[in-house]
């Protein structure tokens, strides 16, 4: 039976928690989660793909079981998150690997790919955006904070941190919400309720504008290096729209785009289908 290990490693003084499964000599796949979750979002996916892959799923800095230092000691920006994840891969000995990116995991993983294109064997983007046309109007309150980082605009974003909003993120666009386990959003809400977590997340909302500013550079990386790419998209996502998935084909003509009739957290309802798509996608690369 497949065994999943749960470990925490010291990355230059920063504790990074991660899940690991699969043969150590198999092709590596780095799973990068998004907001407001952690590596537990991959709890159902890992057993389905780890037979022939070495799967590593860290909790991003400030999320899950990874360290969440005080804001006075650590600046919560996507550049800093990507820097720690990059060092994490080096500390655990990953030299070449594929990445699965979701939500916040996308600007994190794309930064890694842009800095070290020689390390990236393939990209799976599950509602991981890199194009302006992929951003819905649901981002408007956060856009307002980018344009005017006032206390009033910051306070207005607290609704995104409420338990009700977390549940909504999991269930919006899902045809049968009885298929959505409460485990995921309940654990997310536990982590969001920790002292100081709200301010960390508000900082990251504000810094997300740095990701949008990097979209042209991400796209230039796609055009130059043409990494094999699978976009597996919950088509009813209220934040990242289907045109953002289709846009990958503009820069990577050979990209595969698959839509699933579900919402933002597509693995909650369509894990079997997405796992099959991943096995087919990565299997075809290995055969070639």
Does position 286 have pLDDT exceeding 70, yes or no?
Answer: no
Is residue 254 within 8 A of residue 226, CB to CB? The reply is: yes
In this predicted structure, the answer to whether residue 191 has a pLDDT above a threshold of 80 is yes
pLDDT band at residue 71, thresholds of 50, 70 and 90?
very high
H/E segment holding residue 86: helix 78-91
| CATH of the domain spanning 4-287 | 3.40.50.1820
| pLDDT tens by residue, 208-238 | 999 999 999 999 999 999 999 999 999 999 9
Please answer whether residues 208 and 101 qualify as being in contact, where contact means their C-beta atoms are separated by less than 8 angstroms. Answer: no
**Which has the closest alpha carbon to 146: 202, 76, 83, 80?**
202
Most distant CA pair in the chain, distance: 55
Q: Which of 33, 172, 264, 270 is catalytic?
A: 264
CA distance 262 to 127: 11
The closest of 128, 123, 285 to 211, measured between CA atoms, is 128
User: For residue 54, what are the CA distances in angstroms to 15, 61, 232, 277?
Assistant: 21, 22, 20, 17
Mean pLDDT rounded to a whole number for the chain = 97
Cβ count within 10 A of residue 281: 18
Closest CA to 278 of 102, 117, 108: 102
The alpha-carbon radius of gyration of the chain (Å, integer) is 18
pLDDT at 22 > cutoff 90: yes
Residue 48 tokens read as 């389905």
3-state secondary structure 210-261: HHHHHHHHHHHHHHHHCCCEEEEEECCCCCECHHHHHCHHHHCCCCEEEEEC
- Looking only at the bridges linking them, the beta strands covering 229-234 and 256-260 are parallel
Would you state the pLDDT for residue 1?
73
Over residues 263-283, mean pLDDT: 97
Whether residue 180 is predicted with pLDDT greater than 70 in this model: the reply is: yes
Termini Cα distance of the chain:
29
pLDDT of amino acid 2: 87
Looking at residues 129-156, what average pLDDT do you find?
Answer: 97
Residue owning tokens 């891969």: 89
167-189: average pLDDT: 97
Q: What percent of the chain has pLDDT over 70?
A: 99
Whole-number pLDDT of residue 287? 35
pLDDT at res. 288:
37
In 3-state terms the chain splits into helix, strand, coil percentages (rounded to 5) of: 50, 15, 35
Give the position of tokens 């993983």: 109
Q: What is the mean pLDDT of residues 25-37?
A: 97
Cis-peptide, bond into residue 123, ω within 30° of zero:
no
In the residue annotation, 264 being an active-site residue is answered as yes
**In the predicted model, what is the mean pLDDT of residues 141-156?**
97
Question: Does residue 82 register a pLDDT over 60?
Answer: yes
Q: Are strands 14-21 and 54-58 parallel, antiparallel or unpaired?
A: antiparallel
Q: 258 has which bridge partners?
A: 232
Is this model's pTM higher than 0.95 or not? yes
Cα–Cα distance between 236 and 270 in angstroms, integer? 13
Percent share of the chain, pLDDT over 90? 98
Stretch 134-145: mean pLDDT, rounded?
97
pLDDT tops 50 at residue 198: yes
């Amino acid at each position: 039976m497949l065994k999943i290990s749960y470990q925490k490693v010291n990355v230059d003084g920063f504790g990074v928690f991660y899940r690991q499964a699969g043969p150590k000599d198999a092709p590596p796949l780095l799973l990068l989660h998004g907001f407001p979750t952690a590596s537990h979002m991959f709890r159902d996916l890992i057993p389905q793909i780890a037979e022939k892959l070495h799967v590593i799923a860290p909790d991003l800095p400030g999320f899950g079981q990874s360290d969440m230092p005080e804001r006075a000691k650590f600046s919560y920006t996507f550049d800093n998150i990507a820097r720690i994840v990059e060092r994490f891969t080096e500390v655990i000995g990953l030299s070449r690997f594929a990445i699965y990116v979701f939500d916040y995991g996308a600007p994190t993983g794309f930064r890694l790919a842009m800095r070290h294109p020689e390390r990236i064997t393939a990209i799976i983007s599950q509602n991981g955006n890199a194009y302006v046309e992929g951003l819905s109007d649901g981002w408007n309150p956060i856009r307002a904070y980018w344009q005017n980082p006032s206390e009033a605009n910051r306070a207005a974003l607290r609704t995104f941190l409420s338990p009700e909003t977390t549940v909504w993120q999991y269930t919006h666009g899902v045809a049968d919400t009885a298929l959505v386990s409460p485990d995921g959003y309940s654990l997310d809400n536990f982590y969001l309720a920790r002292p100081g977590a709200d301010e960390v997340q508000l900082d990251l909302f504000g810094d997300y504008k740095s990701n949008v500013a990097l979209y042209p550079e991400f796209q230039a990386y796609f055009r130059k290096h043409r990494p094999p790419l699978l976009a597996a998209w919950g088509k009813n996502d209220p934040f990242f729209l289907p045109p953002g998935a289709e846009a990958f084909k503009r820069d990577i003509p050979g990209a595969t785009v698959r839509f699933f009739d579900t919402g933002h957290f597509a693995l909650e309802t369509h894990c079997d289908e997405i796992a099959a798509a991943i096995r087919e996608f990565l299997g075809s690369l290995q055969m070639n």
